[in-house]
Structure 1
Amino acid sequence: MIEKCRPCVIHIATEGPLGLAARAYCIKRGIPFTTAFHTKFPEYIQARTRLPLSVGYKAVRWFHGPSRCVMVATDGIEEELRRWGLTNLGRWGRGVDTDLFKPDEAARGLFRDDDGRPVFLYVGRVAVEKNIAAFLDLDLPGRKVVVGGGPMLDDLRRRYPAVTFTGPKFGEELARHFAAADVFVFPSLTDTFGLVVLEALSCGTPVAAFPVAGPKDVLQGEPVGVLDTDLRKAALAALEIPRDRCRAFALRNNWDASVDQFLANLAPFDTDQFFPELVPARDGVAAE
């Protein structure tokens, strides 16, 4: 399949089996490639097996070492990777579909009881590395809602019978769930970015999270969320944030800037030497 595409350069999006296969192919054929660091696999593996982080990041350095550019989403993640010995780093920020994820007043009553108490929402994979129990253990007024699926879903349902677990949601239905909440609570300590944070803000829902790299880099110090080591304090304080302020922030984080950064990371490659017949149409090919 790769040979049929005749690529000038390959971008490898994950360190998983497909990524390993593509990496081996590129090295064997001498095709330049870029990679992305989306997931803190060493931290996730440590949470499950207690394998030291140093071992996990040794594997990360091995995988990404031949990459011409390791694309990372934020300053915080770039700093962390440099501390672990990676140097071939480039920026590739994220965006949000602001047409799909938007305020929806009709959805505001989706989980609201007659007493009008607030709704606190988590959206994402229901797995140990997401630290969801840190949210579910909080003493908060109103209702807690968890949207998503994963290996811990059944266990958390048994442990927290008062919490509403909806299972996975997608598209417009997912957007309605974001818009229905008063606060989006993001308890993860290991995410490299947290696109769900931007999706919540785009729906006008303020964010509460721990002051760690992912949410810190998404919020960029803007008053659209509250970061605190006391997650309960952050969740209650976020109730006071105006929803229109959150939406305005998200509108500045669309996909156009992300595309420009990605293409700029490919620009240093001399693709002319591979397929000179494509040179006159390079801009069109890149845009496509």
Structure 2
Amino acid sequence: MRILIITDAWYPQINGVVRTLSSMQEELIKMGNDVRMVTPEAYKTVPCPTYPEIRLSLVTPKAIEKVVKKFMPCAIHIATEGPLGLAARSYCRKKKLPFTTAFHTRFPEYVEARFRIPENWIYPVMRWFHKHSTNVMAPTPTVVENLRAHKFHNACLWGRGVDVDLFKPGPKAALPKDKIQKDKPILLSVGRIAVEKNIAAFLDLDIDANKVVVGDGPMMNELVRKYPDVIFVGAKHGEELVSYYNCADAFIFPSLTDTFGLVMLEALACGTPVAAYPVMGPKDVITDPTAGCLDHDLKTAVLKALGLKREDCRKFAEKQSWKASAETFRSYLHEFDPKLIDRSYVEPTTAEEENIPVSAVAGIASSTKTSD
């Protein structure tokens, strides 16, 4: 099958969405599929407001049409709700081509965390984006239930995996000796350093331990100044990242908004137990009490996690697989005859033609609650 995947999230970004999609590309190719990725790399971009590390593509549906006509896919998957995703959606709707989408990120909750815009003003826009998708692929049962509660009637479960050949017990990272307290446990957090990740809940823990943070993001400089005793090492990749998981006695995942949290599986594959809140994401990943501890008191979760066995964590992670995830992904794709692509294309002209919930967008500005 020729599969076209459109995503606004791609390298050099390092996050769960990028890791998931790159893993899908690799596994789908191994399965004998021809996969083409449409990413910001091919277009002019501008920095995302308040988050310059993310680049927004300057793209139109016509640009997507050129890619589609050249590749002639049998299935189209729109992975993100950004500029590329919007252009691809518009093109598919005008051409009457079936497509699938994914709900990787709790965007309404992130917007509320960053800009204090209530999430119920954003969900109508998200429903509009996904409502014509054959399947909206979500990473956990909890996310599927949440989407259905918000009137997403086409949500389905698409699980995640971990590369257990890369993420495995092995050499440990060398931490700065002048900042490490000997004979104290090492607590690790890995991820984007941004407000929606709730990293302060980890950094503020009153616990006698060394705290290490791997990652980068808009709050990096502020937190480095505020927490001088915490070891911030920046973003790490590949075997170097693995070495940080291996040097930790427990992995702390303080996020309250993640849909999954691939870093938890990566930590477990290295044998590092997880401590997190019992919320969407962690409660779907940590399904075995021998692999991690969930508690509304994060300190309690950490102390319990420190008592778990590393070999049990590794065994739990070994049951997860990117191959199984890719097989599920492929089964949800809507295959069509490429001959449909030859139908004439009409450029959209107004918001009304695409039935964009303009009232919802206006409500964000006017502080009026909207509905789909």
The structure-2 alpha-carbon separation of the partners of 1:173 and 1:108, relative to structure 1 and needing over 3 Å to count, comes to: closer
Find the counterpart in structure 1 of residue 147 from structure 2: 81
* Superposed counterparts of 1:94-105, under 5 Å: 94-104=160-170
Contact preservation (8 Å) 2:181, 2:210:
no
**1:182, distance to aligned residue in structure 2 (A):** 0.4
Find the counterpart in structure 2 of residue 280 from structure 1: none
Q: Tell me, in whole angstroms, the C-alpha distance in 2 between the residues paired with 1:251 and 1:24.
A: 40
The structure-2 alpha-carbon separation of the partners of 1:210 and 1:82, relative to structure 1 and needing over 3 Å to count, comes to: same
Out of 135, 144, 160, the residue aligned to residue 227 of structure 2 is 160
Contact preservation (8 Å) 2:101, 2:133:
yes
Find the counterpart in structure 2 of residue 262 from structure 1: 329
Report SS of the residue matched to 1:213: coil
**1:207, distance to aligned residue in structure 2 (A):** 0.2
Out of 33, 56, 80, the residue aligned to residue 14 of structure 1 is 80
1:107 matched to 2:172: yes
Q: Tell me, in whole angstroms, the C-alpha distance in 2 between the residues paired with 1:111 and 1:249.
A: 31
Report SS of the residue matched to 2:211: strand
The structure-2 alpha-carbon separation of the partners of 1:111 and 1:142, relative to structure 1 and needing over 3 Å to count, comes to: farther
Report SS of the residue matched to 2:281: helix
Contact preservation (8 Å) 1:208, 1:225:
yes
Corresponding letter in the other structure for 1:163: V
Q: State TM-score, norm by structure 2.
A: 0.71
Q: Tell me, in whole angstroms, the C-alpha distance in 2 between the residues paired with 1:58 and 1:222.
A: 37
Find the counterpart in structure 1 of residue 369 from structure 2: none
**1:270, distance to aligned residue in structure 2 (A):** 5.0
Find the counterpart in structure 1 of residue 190 from structure 2: 123
**Structure 2 stretches lacking a partner, 5+ long:** 1-66, 341-372
Report SS of the residue matched to 2:312: helix
Q: State TM-score, norm by structure 1.
A: 0.91
The structure-2 alpha-carbon separation of the partners of 1:212 and 1:246, relative to structure 1 and needing over 3 Å to count, comes to: same
**Structure 1 stretches lacking a partner, 5+ long:** 277-288
Contact preservation (8 Å) 2:275, 2:292:
yes
Between the two proteins, what is the percent identity of the paired residues? 55
Report SS of the residue matched to 2:134: coil
More helix by share: 1
Find the counterpart in structure 2 of residue 56 from structure 1: 122
Contact preservation (8 Å) 2:137, 2:158:
yes
Q: Tell me, in whole angstroms, the C-alpha distance in 2 between the residues paired with 1:183 and 1:221.
A: 16
**1:108, distance to aligned residue in structure 2 (A):** 6.7
**1:119, distance to aligned residue in structure 2 (A):** 0.3
Find the counterpart in structure 1 of residue 338 from structure 2: 274
For these two proteins, the number of residue pairs brought into alignment is 272
Corresponding letter in the other structure for 2:279: V
Corresponding letter in the other structure for 1:107: K
